[in-house]
C-alpha cells in the first residue's frame, strides 16, 4: 500500500511524532479487536514506509515495540542503527533480528550498547565475521556459549574461549576454597 506524504512536507517529523504518540496511547488502551489491530498495522506500515530515511531513523529510536520490529528490517543502514537507541532494544526478537543483519556495523553497534540475550548470541555464533564472535567472549560468560566458541574454526577465538573457561574455573575454585575455609 502506498501513502501520500505530500501533506507532511512542511513538518513531517512533527506530524509523525504526534502520530506515533497517538499510536502509543492507543496501544496502551488496546482491546485487540480485529479493527484495532488492523489500524495499528496500518500506522506501523505508514511510519516504516516514510520515504526519508532520516525521518525513519528518528522514529526508530523512539517508536513502539511493534513498530521497532518493522524498523529492524529497514533497507537503510541508518534506520537499523537507530533501532539500537530505542529502549525496546532489550526485546529478544529485536536483538535476534539485528544480529541477523547483513551489515556487521549493526551488530557491532548492538554489542556496544546492550548485553545480548542468549538467543541473540546463538545467532552471533553463526556470523562469518571472527571479530563479532570474538566479542562474545568478553561480553558473555555463559559456559555453553564459551564451550561453543572453544570449537570455533578460528584458532584465536578457540584459544580465547578456552582461556575464558579456565579463568572461570579458577574463579570458581577460589570461591569454593573460601567457602570451605569459612565452613
pLDDT digits (tens, 9 = 90+) for 115-149: 899 999 999 999 999 999 999 998 667 888 999 99
pTM for this one?
0.74
DSSP code at position 141: -
The reported pLDDT for the residue numbered 124 is 95
Please write the tens of the pLDDT for every residue from 46-92.
777 778 888 889 889 988 888 899 899 999 999 999 999 999 999 99
Nearest Cα neighbor of 22 from 74, 63, 61, 54 is: 63
The reported pLDDT for the residue numbered 172 is 85
Neighbours of 61 (CB within 10 A): 18
Amino acid at each position: 500500500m502506498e501513502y501520500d506524504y505530500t501533506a507532511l512536507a512542511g513538518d513531517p517529523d512533527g506530524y509523525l511524532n504526534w502520530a506515533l504518540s497517538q499510536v502509543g496511547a492507543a496501544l496502551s488502551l488496546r482491546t485487540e479487536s480485529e479493527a484495532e489491530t488492523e489500524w495499528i498495522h496500518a500506522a506501523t506500515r505508514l511510519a516504516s514506509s516514510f520515504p526519508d530515511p532520516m525521518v525513519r531513523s528518528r522514529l526508530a529510536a523512539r517508536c513502539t515495540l511493534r513498530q521497532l520490529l518493522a524498523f529492524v528490517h529497514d533497507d537503510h543502514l541508518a534506520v537499523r542503527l537507530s533501532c539500537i537507541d530505542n529502549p525496546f532494544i532489550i526485546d529478544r526478537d529485536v536483538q535476534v533480528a539485528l544480529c541477523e543483519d547483513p551489515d556487521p556495523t549493526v551488530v557491532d553497534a548492538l554489542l556496544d550498547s546492550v548485553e545480548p540475550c542468549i538467543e541473540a548470541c546463538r545467532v552471533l555464533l553463526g556470523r562469518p565475521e571472527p571479530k563479532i564472535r570474538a566479542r562474545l567472549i568478553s561480553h558473555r560468560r555463559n559456559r555453553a556459549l564459551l564451550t561453543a566458541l572453544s570449537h570455533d574454526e578460528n584458532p584465536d577465538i578457540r584459544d580465547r574461549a578456552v582461556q575464558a573457561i579456565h579463568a572461570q574455573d579458577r574463579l570458581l575454585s577460589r570461591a569454593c576454597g573460601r567457602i570451605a575455609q569459612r565452613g
